[in-house]
Amino acid sequence: MSTVREIFEKDEAAGLKAFEEKIKPLGLSEGAKEKLLYMFKSAFSKASAADCMIDWQYVVPLTDKEQTPYETLKDPENPAELLKKLVIVKLNGGLGTTMGCTGPKSLISCRNGKSFFDIVVDQVKELNDKYGTDVPLVLMHSFNTDDIMRPHVEAVKDVKVITFNQNKFPRIYTDTLEPVPENAESPISMWNPPGHADVYHCLRDSGLLDKFLAEGKTIMMISNIDNLGSVVDLKVLNKAITENRSYMAETVLKTLDDWKGGMPIMYKGHMKLLETAIVPKEHFNDYTDMNFLNYFHANNLWVNLVTLKQALSDGTLKLDTMRNYKKYNNREIVQLEAACGSAIQSFKDSCAVRVPRNRFLPVKSCNELLLVRANVYIMEGSHFVRNPARKIADLPSIQLSQIYQHVEDFEKRFPEAPDMVDLVKLHVDGDVFFGKNIKLVGNVDIQIPAGQTLTIPDGKVLKDCTIRSAADL
């Protein structure tokens, strides 16, 4: 019997039908099936696959016309009235696997014993208490996180928390273009969440989009739950509502660590999200050139609910399909995904706001976890604020070796965060245990040979030094 790929390569319509037959037993909802078939076609048809890659000659960086500087934004006259129209959506489908955790990443202890989820709830509560509003917190979960998050959500009493689930798509073998079969030992191994662009269709399919519109909500702010800087900014909200923008992206200036971040650009006369996955290999250096593209999308975005519903209804919501290749049981598979930022191309009035760096404070690794636990930031309520005692403009550069990758191992070696208010760069290569009341100043480079350990004693000050053994302390 011919595989889906063999059929598809001869006749794309017949191949699409064959794939549809293969996914019938999986029990996908009609909305999920429709979206999967669309993404399958856009990923593998010859015409669509060619469009997946960007034509670099048409890439044009945004100017201040399309990317408004934050400093020019105005404060709203009546914040409470604007907030009545707002829905806060946090993307909460990810696991903490890259940091050695099996559960939702949002439950990792972040600072002062509070998780990302705890801090976000506190941020929304503070906003509502300050302005006498009832802005809801909406969480998009995945099949990976929903069950585990449920008791934590139910325990929240002071904030209206609403949840919905994104779809799950079957992983696909690249050699046959057929779904990975269920594995009795690991039943979820056949599935993947199809990226955070699922937020748009799933809001509609869950009925929440119509519910919010009926309640007079007209704008939603979407951001990753692990971005501790993505709080509601009234100036940005004011611009989105008063200008009635369909889509507005927040951008920040790049640092050397931000080369992976997608960025809005002008492309053939309209805005588009430029992602690593759609950049031709021969232009990768251009893509990472900070002199050419010196900003990126913070993945904080503001979407008009009225125009979103219209775009979903008339089929004009365009999302770029990305192919994420992995190995499974020694065979190559592909996950079909889409980024919510790619919706920027769907609206003629899309724009961007170049915001301060403090609105982008993600935690993707234990390097960044150390940063948010340290005194580089102080807490004003539930908000992370740059410590005024730090006179160095840039954040410290943190480079920890692989042994610190998992939270459990990291916390054994950092029982508390050092004083890093005057730190420029910390580089640790090897197995180093830090004591309490440590102060790091300037450039600190610690390299310990494999198989050895080093303990930095309590109260030690390390300033502009290179450490190779205990004798250097």
Span 282-287, mean pLDDT?
92
> What's the burial of 240, exposed, middle or buried (CB within 10 Å: 0-12/13-18/19+)?
buried
Share of the chain above pLDDT 70, in %: 98
Span 283-293, mean pLDDT?
91
pLDDT at 106 over 90: yes
Share of the chain above pLDDT 90, in %: 87
pLDDT digits (tens, 9 = 90+) for 448-468: 999 999 999 999 999 999 999
pLDDT (0 to 100) of residue 388? 97
pLDDT digits (tens, 9 = 90+) for 77-92: 999 999 999 999 999 9
The residue with greater pLDDT, 380 or 184, is 380
pLDDT (0 to 100) of residue 182? 78
pLDDT (0 to 100) of residue 276? 87
pLDDT at 7 over 90: yes
pLDDT (0 to 100) of residue 50? 58
Task: Name the residue type at position 375.
Answer: N
Annotated binding site for substrate: 196
pLDDT at 51 over 70: no
* Domains, the chain, ordered by start: 9-359 (3.90.550.10), 366-472 (2.160.10.10)
pLDDT (0 to 100) of residue 330? 84
Annotated binding site for UTP: 105, 166, 195, 226, 364
Which structure tokens are listed for 400?
A: 């920890």
Residue 326 contacts residue 172 (beta carbons within 8 Å)? no
Lowest-pLDDT choice from 129-133, 216-220, 392-396, 404-408: 392-396
Task: Name the residue type at position 4.
Answer: V
Average pLDDT, the chain: 94
Which structure tokens are listed for 370?
A: 């150390």
How far is residue 344 from each of residues 39, 128, 299, 320, measured CA to CA in Å? 18, 29, 12, 10
When mean pLDDT is compared over 94-108, 180-194, 256-270, 417-431, the highest value belongs to 417-431
- pTM for this entry: 0.94
CA distance 123 to 117: 10
pLDDT at 189 over 90: no
pLDDT (0 to 100) of residue 392? 95
Span 238-245, mean pLDDT?
97
CA distance 27 to 36: 13
Span 330-357, mean pLDDT?
95
pLDDT at 40 over 90: yes
Annotated binding site: 105, 166, 195-196, 226, 364
